[in-house]
Chains A and B, each alone.
Chain A
């Protein structure tokens, strides 16, 4: 009995582990006073088309018996933007919403990339500026800390800074867009070739190449400052240096770097962009940024910043570190011979296993030893016998 490629079963122990990680993520979301929401697993194609763009090619699409075109959600930000634009338009801003749900993408299944996966994330809607940006980034740091990845590092950039630098080199419109794509992929070869086949100011273009390879903190800000000619990019530099200073004050100075070329999805982000990763995985675990253009496309003119983390990617990272951890016991007490006693124990909040096979005393104790159940209660002829510390 097969299952299709790109999806998986979760067996009890794996699933318990996943739930535990998810609960820790939820705890962080709640500690930042975010409210959890959930949108439908599938929606009308036309409702999500606005926000998805390139992702549309990766959607699972189908039609209902009336011919309506439907898609499985590929992520949660667009559906939540839709929800906010349609249902929460009169709610007081800013809104702080979070989610933890599965999403679906039709792509080649491989390590860290499944066709069904779980995303947790948070959206801060209706707030612009460094404080809102910092909130998204700091929540992400605390979330990875909470699940046990306190060695995770974060790189940040700002789309406006890259735009400002491109304008400073004299690149506009199509040329700027082309170069931005090359910068996002950190394709130095293509950038160099572009520089040698187009009329660019050589010294400044050389600077752009250097920046694309640059990663650091205040040194990157200082290096990029002189070629950022637009007001928006200067404002972004100020925001970024404020965020870095605030992170340093929290003791995260070493963990957060600026990577000029970090742009993620070009079509989507409009300001801050960040990614979190650990040294032993070759792909990022979480990411996010400012997406001020999405809600306006849905008719609601408010800014927004958000981020998400791939739950399976966290599990992948943790798996490698907790190889020798023993599975936890799942039962607190084993009860035989009385529904009422079992119910009484459940009411105490214990995990109770009821003997379903009518085992005799010796077999019950053997079972308890085998499953590492610390207490056994036997009820026989109205008499209750309790054995704690089941002998080995």
Chain B
């Protein structure tokens, strides 16, 4: 039999829908993956690597996985050269600048002369403010970014928003939308060639699913 196709899957928000789509595309992921990181799909011809979403691009770039499913928000923050073949249309969210409603930035109040921004998306945030010539310091955090403006750590945040509930809970509002994210199907540029039929086949089944 030929080499199995290796797919990298992100743990977290995209996981369940990714598994459902793969199932519809004929790749059955066992329901009980549990703590296993490396599983064989029901078709016996596909291997799955279950990874932290931030690690998916690296696995695909080096060819440890042939392809993967990953959010665009993860790709923003890396230089990994992977080919982005399709927008799978789920896991949609927006990357936004948000701040406390009371500060009024969303109503045109000018930013402080030196803005402090807390975010998990350091590169996207830096690029956004640099493009607009807003002098700023980006404070890289790993979670609970909404807290930063409330305790005076930052003037604004750059974060993902799906429904906006978290922002409302903290009495924050969207100041500007930076970009839209959704799940992407990415492949290793060399494996695109060496496993061309398997990869393009999977892609077209995923797009129909």
* Interface core residue of A189, A213, A280, A281 (most chain B CB under 10 Å): A189
Q: Is the CB of A215 within 8 A of B63?
A: no
- Return the chain B residue nearest A213 by Cβ: B200
Does A234 belong to the interface (CB within 8 Å)? no
Contact stretch, chosen from A180-188, A350-358, A367-375 = A180-188
| Contact count band on A | 20 to 34
Q: Is the CB of A284 within 8 A of B190?
A: yes
Q: Is the CB of B84 within 8 A of A277?
A: no
Q: Is the CB of B85 within 8 A of A188?
A: yes
**Smallest beta-carbon distance A76→chain B, Å:** 23
Chain B residues, Cβ within 8 Å of A187: 83-84
Q: Is the CB of B193 within 8 A of A283?
A: no
Does A257 belong to the interface (CB within 8 Å)? yes
Q: Is the CB of B83 within 8 A of A283?
A: no
Q: Is the CB of B83 within 8 A of A259?
A: no
8 A Cβ contacts from A259-314 to B: 259, 277, 279-284
**Smallest beta-carbon distance A143→chain B, Å:** 18
Does B61 belong to the interface (CB within 8 Å)? yes
Alpha-carbon distance between A281 and B64 when the two chains are bound, in angstroms? 9
* Tally of B interface residues using CB under 8 Å: 22
Contact with A along B188-209 (1 / 0, CB 8 A): 1111111010001000000000
**Smallest beta-carbon distance B193→chain A, Å:** 6
Q: Is the CB of B193 within 8 A of A153?
A: yes
Chain B residues, Cβ within 8 Å of A110: 62
Q: Is the CB of A279 within 8 A of B194?
A: yes
Q: Is the CB of B62 within 8 A of A282?
A: yes
Alpha-carbon distance between A47 and B85 when the two chains are bound, in angstroms? 40
- Take A189-B87, A190-B84 as given contacts and tell me if A281 and B189 are in contact as well, using a CB distance cutoff of 8 Å: no
Alpha-carbon distance between A362 and B3 when the two chains are bound, in angstroms? 54
Q: Is the CB of B86 within 8 A of A189?
A: yes
**Smallest beta-carbon distance A281→chain B, Å:** 6
Chain A residues, Cβ within 8 Å of B63: 280-283
Does B81 belong to the interface (CB within 8 Å)? yes
Chain B residues, Cβ within 8 Å of A213: 85, 200
Q: Is the CB of B193 within 8 A of A155?
A: yes
Q: Is the CB of B194 within 8 A of A153?
A: yes
* Interface core residue of A279, A280, A284 (most chain B CB under 10 Å): A279
Chain A residues, Cβ within 8 Å of B87: 189, 192
Alpha-carbon distance between A155 and B189 when the two chains are bound, in angstroms? 12
- Return the chain A residue nearest B203 by Cβ: A213
Q: Is the CB of A188 within 8 A of B64?
A: no
Chain A residues, Cβ within 8 Å of B61: 282-283
Does B120 belong to the interface (CB within 8 Å)? no
Q: Is the CB of B64 within 8 A of A282?
A: yes
- Return the chain A residue nearest B62 by Cβ: A282
- Return the chain B residue nearest A281 by Cβ: B63
Q: Is the CB of A215 within 8 A of B83?
A: no
Does B116 belong to the interface (CB within 8 Å)? no
Q: Is the CB of B193 within 8 A of A215?
A: yes
Chain B residues, Cβ within 8 Å of A277: 190, 193-194
Alpha-carbon distance between A192 and B87 when the two chains are bound, in angstroms? 10
Alpha-carbon distance between A167 and B188 when the two chains are bound, in angstroms? 28
Q: Is the CB of B194 within 8 A of A185?
A: no
Does A363 belong to the interface (CB within 8 Å)? no
Does B184 belong to the interface (CB within 8 Å)? yes
Which residue of the partner chain, among B86, B191, B200, contacts A282 with CB atoms under 8 Å? B191
**Smallest beta-carbon distance A280→chain B, Å:** 8
- Take A186-B83, A189-B184, A282-B188 as given contacts and tell me if A259 and B193 are in contact as well, using a CB distance cutoff of 8 Å: yes
8 A Cβ contacts from B157-209 to A: 184, 188-194, 196, 200
Does A250 belong to the interface (CB within 8 Å)? no
8 A Cβ contacts from B79-96 to A: 81, 83-87
Q: Is the CB of A186 within 8 A of B64?
A: no
Alpha-carbon distance between A189 and B181 when the two chains are bound, in angstroms? 12
* Interface core residue of A185, A282, A283 (most chain B CB under 10 Å): A282
Chain B residues, Cβ within 8 Å of A284: 190
Alpha-carbon distance between A259 and B189 when the two chains are bound, in angstroms? 11
Does A340 belong to the interface (CB within 8 Å)? no
Alpha-carbon distance between A155 and B192 when the two chains are bound, in angstroms? 11
**Smallest beta-carbon distance A195→chain B, Å:** 13
Chain B residues, Cβ within 8 Å of A111: 62
- Return the chain B residue nearest A155 by Cβ: B193
Chain A residues, Cβ within 8 Å of B190: 277, 281-284
Alpha-carbon distance between A277 and B189 when the two chains are bound, in angstroms? 11
Alpha-carbon distance between A155 and B190 when the two chains are bound, in angstroms? 10
Alpha-carbon distance between A189 and B184 when the two chains are bound, in angstroms? 8
| Besides A189-B85, A189-B184, A281-B63, 8 other A-B contacts (C-beta < 8 A) | A186-B85, A187-B83, A189-B86, A215-B192, A277-B193, A282-B60, A282-B61, A284-B190
- Give residues in B with beta carbon < 8 Å to A: 3, 60-64, 81, 83-87, 184, 188-194, 196, 200
- Give residues in A with beta carbon < 8 Å to B: 110-112, 153, 155, 185-190, 192, 213, 215, 257, 259, 277, 279-284
- 6 residue pairs bridging A and B, Cβ less than 8 Å apart: A111-B62, A186-B189, A189-B85, A213-B85, A259-B193, A282-B64
